[in-house]
Every structure is written in C-alpha cells, then in structure tokens.
Amino acid sequence: MSHHIVEVRDLFFAYPDGTEALKGISFRIEHGVAVALVGANGAGKSTLLLHLNGYLPTTRGEVRIGDSALTRETAPMVRRAVGMVFQDPDDQLFMPTVAEDVAFGPLNAGLPADQVEDRVAMALERVGMTHVRERPPYRLSAGEKRAVAIATVLAMTPDILVMDEPSSNLDPRNRRRLIELLRSFAHTRIIATHDLELVVEVCSHVIVMDGGAIVAQGPTRAILDDEELMLAHGLERPHSLRHHHPHPPSA
C-alpha cells in the first residue's frame, strides 16, 4: 500500500527564463489523505503539480511516489499511479467520444479490449456520467466535462489523484456534486485550489505556498483559521470557519 505515499524532499525548480518557481519544497503525504495546496496566483502550485508525475524533470531535490524516486526511468510507472486532472477539461478531452476518451489511458497501458471496456464502464459509473458515453466531449456542459475528465483519470485506477482547480467554472450544484465525489474517494488526493470552502469540506490537511516555498502546513482547521497567516499570503479565512453554522459542512 506504500504506493499511495507522496514525498517531496527539498525540491527546487527554475524555468528556462530564470524564474525560480520552487525554492526548496518538502512535504510528505500519507496514504488516503486529502491535502489541499493553497496559495496566491503564481505561488508555484501548478509547477509543483507538474513535478508530481514527472512532466517537469526533477533537477534538484527528490520526488518519491511510493517506494520509488521519480526519474526518467520510473516516470511511466509513476504516471500510472498518479492520476492528474488538469484545470481546463478541454485540454484533457481530445478524443471523438467520451467513451474513447476514457479508454485512452487504459489502451496506452496495453490492456486487452474487454478490460478496457470494464474500466470505461466503471469510471463513468463512478462519476455518474454513463448517459453521455457516446457523446462528443465538446458538446458537454462544463460540469459534465469536469466529471468526464475525472473519469478519464479514474479509468487508469490511480493510487493518487492530483487535481488543479477542480471547482473552477462550476455552478453551485455541480460544485456540490464535485465535493461529494471528492469526499467519496479513498485515494490519496492532492488538490490545488483557491476554493477554500471546498478545502474545509474535503481536505484534512493543508499546505500553504507563497513565492515558491511552503510557508505553513498542517491540519486544515488550524491553518485556515489563522487569519494573520491567511492574509499575509494573499488568502482569506474561510467564511465557514468564522461562524458556527447550525449545519456544519463536515466534522
């Protein structure tokens, strides 16, 4: 089960133009935990995410997924373990039909046709999108696209789910559905988002980034309730933590 552990040690990264995007990132995420990655625009969240499946090469420091360090050799294996849902579903859905899009990952993994079919059915069922399986992805609504994008990743049966801004562009009902879906997963989850209310409901731990470094990490409530810390890094103390609602979103 150690596959589900994500560990980053002293990770540095600079873009070719010299911009230092990551300056010594270290954290460890245990099996099955949902962790939020928060921080202002340009804090380095997306750059960090791109390191987690080896899309950006590790030049200094180390990324460990499960037992193995991420290198050029282990990247294909790591990409099967780490499912990544990107911010714009239009970038992720490029096949002619939803079913073919969901089958893209399993087919690349070399699975036989009948198993691919099972995976497609399972993944679409899981996100409640079975009814759109023969539709072209670009004809779907934003909420449906997001759900299908998640299904394309679930079909690869990853141990770890990495998501960039999963609730962006969603209406309240679709956002609610997404939150329930994210809460129902047993995977290790890493969610980069500005939606701090989603963090309160879904994630047990938070990592706060600013200027390419981690400025705080710990249990969600302890971190997000720290108004001074939040304001200092371009964030805000979530409304739900300021007031005691008669119907708390989650314990």
Partner 1 sequence: MKLVDWIEIGRMDELGRMDTPVHRLDARAKIVVTVAFIVLVMSFSRYALSALTPFLLYPVALIAMGHIPARHILTKILVAAPFALVIGIFNPFMDRHPVAIMGPFVVTGGWLSFASIMLRFVLTVGAALALVACTGMYRLGAGLEQLGVPRMFVTQLLFLYRYLFVVANEGLTMLRGVELRSNGIRSLRFRVYGSLIGHLLLRSMDRSERVYRAMVARGFDGEIHVLRRASFCWSDWAFVCGCLAFFVAARTWNLAHGLGLLLTGSVR
CB 121 within 8 A of CB 181: no
Whose CA is closest to 188, among 27, 3, 32, 6?
32
Segment contacting partner 1 by CB under 8 A, of 12-20, 122-130, 136-144, 197-205 = 136-144
CB 87 within 8 A of CB 164: yes
**Interaction between residue 190 and partner 1 (CB under 8 A):** no
SS3 call for 235: coil
**Binder of partner 1 out of 134, 180, 227, 236 (CB under 8 A):** 134
**Interaction between residue 76 and partner 1 (CB under 8 A):** yes
Between 39 and 54, name the residue whose CB sits nearer to partner 1: 54
**Binder of partner 1 out of 31, 33, 69, 100 (CB under 8 A):** 100
**Binder of partner 1 out of 2, 59, 108, 115 (CB under 8 A):** 108
**Interaction between residue 118 and partner 1 (CB under 8 A):** no
Give the burial string for 44-57 (b: 16+ CB within 10 Å, else e): bbbbbbbbbbbebe
Strand partners, 191: 36, 163
Segment contacting partner 1 by CB under 8 A, of 11-19, 22-30, 62-70, 99-107 = 99-107
Angle at 166 between CA 21 and CA 134, to 5 degrees: 125
**Interaction between residue 122 and partner 1 (CB under 8 A):** no
d(CA 80, CA 53): 9
Sheet-wide strand order for 6-14: 20-29, 6-14, 60-65, 68-69
**Interaction between residue 80 and partner 1 (CB under 8 A):** yes
Strand 188-192, strand 34-38: pairing? parallel
**Interaction between residue 209 and partner 1 (CB under 8 A):** no
**Binder of partner 1 out of 11, 29, 84, 160 (CB under 8 A):** 84
Residues that bind partner 1 (CB under 8 A): 50, 53, 55, 76, 79-80, 83-84, 86, 88, 90-92, 94-97, 99-100, 103-105, 107-109, 113, 116-117, 134, 136, 138-139, 152-153, 156
